[in-house]
Amino acid sequence: MAEYETHQVQLPRTLSRRVVRQLLVERAEYGGWELARVRIYPDGRRVVTLRRRIIRATKTFPTGAAAPV
């Protein structure tokens, strides 16, 4: 099963949809984040949850064996 790290961003109601979209696009393109959830509260603020997959490095050859040249 994949592991994800999450990041929550709170955005005030004064930001337009265009500005919010641009902010999220930049986070996705340059940070590798994807949109997980958006909550819009009655007072107009948005709480956006972003996530990205955690990639763990694994060894490619057995311990004690010589590394390929």
Report if residue 18 sits inside a domain: yes
- Average pLDDT across the chain, whole number: 90
Give the pTM: 0.74
- The confidence score (pLDDT) of residue 69 equals 62
Is the Cα dihedral 30, 36, 38, 39 positive or negative? negative
Report if residue 17 sits inside a domain: yes
- The confidence score (pLDDT) of residue 55 equals 86
List the domain range (segments joined by +) for residue 25: 4-53
Sheet holding 4-11, edge to edge: 4-11, 46-53, 34-40
Report if residue 36 sits inside a domain: yes
Say how many domains are in the chain: 1
Report if residue 60 sits inside a domain: no
